[in-house]
Structure 1
Amino acid sequence: MKKTLRIRKMIKDCDLEVLAGKKGVDFTVDVEMISRPQFEIMGNFEFSDPQRLMIIGVQESNYLESHTKEEREKMVKGLFNLKPPAIIFPVNPEVEKVLDLFKRFGDEYNVPILRSNLNTTPLNSMLYVYLHKELSETISVHGVLMDIHGMGCLIIGGSGIGKSETALELIKRGHILVSDDLVDIYESSAGSLIGTAPRILKRYLEIRGIGIVDVISMFGSGAYRERKRIHMVVELEYWQKDKEYDRLGIESDTMKYFNTEIPKITIPVLPGRNIATLVESAAMNEKLKEMGYNAAVTFTQNVSKLARGEFEDE
Structure 2
Amino acid sequence: MTNATGIGDPLKMHATAVSIAGAGLMLCGKSGSGKSDLALRLIDRGAALISDDYVDIRRTGDRLFLSPPSRLAGKLEVRSLGIFDQDHVSDIALKLIVKLDDNPDRFPMDKQTMILLGITIPFCTLNAMENSASIKAELALQRIVQEAGKI
The aligned counterpart of 1:288 is 146
Preserved CA contact (<8 Å) 1:152 1:232: yes
Partner of residue 227, structure 1:
91
**Counterpart in the other structure of 1:193:** 64
- C-alpha distance in 2 between matches for 1:268 and 1:292: 29
Out of 279, 298, 314, the residue aligned to residue 137 of structure 2 is: 279
Q: 2:121 maps to which residue? A: 262
174 and 200 in structure 1: CA distance in 2 versus 1, 3 angstrom threshold: same
CA deviation profile, 1:252-299 (whole Å, cap 9, x unmatched):
111111111111111135x54322111111111211211229xxxxxx
- Which amino acid in the other structure matches residue 234 of structure 1? V
Match of 1:168 in 2: 40
Whether the 8 Å CA contact 1:149–1:283 is kept in 2: the answer is no
Provide closer, same or farther for how the CA distance between residues 268 and 173 of structure 1 changes in structure 2, counting only shifts above 3 A. closer
Q: CA RMSD in A?
A: 2.3
Choose which of 100, 108, 116 in structure 2 pairs with 1:236: 100
Using the TM superposition, give the Cα deviation of residue 173 of structure 1 relative to its aligned residue in structure 2, in angstroms: 1.5
Q: Is the 8 A contact 1:149 1:284 kept in 2?
A: no
Q: Offset at 1:250?
A: 5.5
Identity between Structure 1 and Structure 2 (%): 28
Map of 2:26 onto structure 1: 154
**Quick check: 1:136–1:187 contact (8 Å CA) kept in 2?**
no
Structure 2 unmatched ranges of 5 or more: none
How far does residue 137 in structure 1 lie from its aligned partner after superposition?
3.4
Give 1:139 deviation, angstroms. Answer: 1.2
**1:48-82 superposed Cα distances (whole Å, 9 cap, x missing partner):** xxxxxxxxxxxxxxxxxxxxxxxxxxxxxxxxxxx
Report runs of 4+ in structure 1 exceeding 6 Å deviation. none
1 CA distance for matches of 2:83 and 2:127?
A: 27
User: Is the CA contact 1:145–1:152 (under 8 Å) kept in the aligned structure 2?
Assistant: yes
Q: State the one-letter code of the partner of 1:177.
A: L
Find 1:205's aligned residue among 39, 56, 76.
76
Instruction: Report the 3-state secondary structure (helix = DSSP H, G, I; strand = E; otherwise coil) of the residue aligned with 1:137.
Output: coil
d(CA) in 2 for partners of 1:267 and 1:152? 17
Change in 2 beyond 3 A, CA 1:272/1:258: closer
SS in 2 for 1:238: coil
- Name the amino acid aligned to 2:9: E
After superposition, the C-alpha distances for 1:80-130 in whole angstroms (9 at most, x for unaligned) are: xxxxxxxxxxxxxxxxxxxxxxxxxxxxxxxxxxxxxxxxxxxxxxxxxxx
Greater radius of gyration (CA)? 1
Given that 1:179 and 1:202 are in contact with CA atoms closer than 8 Å, whether structure 2 keeps it comes out as yes
Number of the residue aligned with 1:40: none
Q: How many aligned positions are there?
A: 149
Q: Within 1, Cα distance between the matches of 2:53 and 2:111?
A: 26
Deviations 1:164-196 (A, max 9, x none): 11111111111111111000111111x211111
Q: Structure 2 CA distance, aligned partners of 1:211 and 1:177?
A: 16
Q: Distance in 2 between matches of 1:251 and 1:268?
A: 19
CA change 1:176–1:272 in 2 (3 A) is closer
Deviation per CA, 1:140-180: give whole Å up to 9, x if none.
Answer: 11111111122211111111111111111111111111111
TM-score, structure 2 length as denominator?
0.87
For 1:182 and 1:272, locate their aligned partners in 2 and report how far apart those are by CA, in whole Å. 23
The answer to whether the 8 A contact 1:204-1:213 is kept is yes
**3-state SS of the aligned residue for 1:226?**
coil
The AA in structure 2 aligned to 1:252 is: K
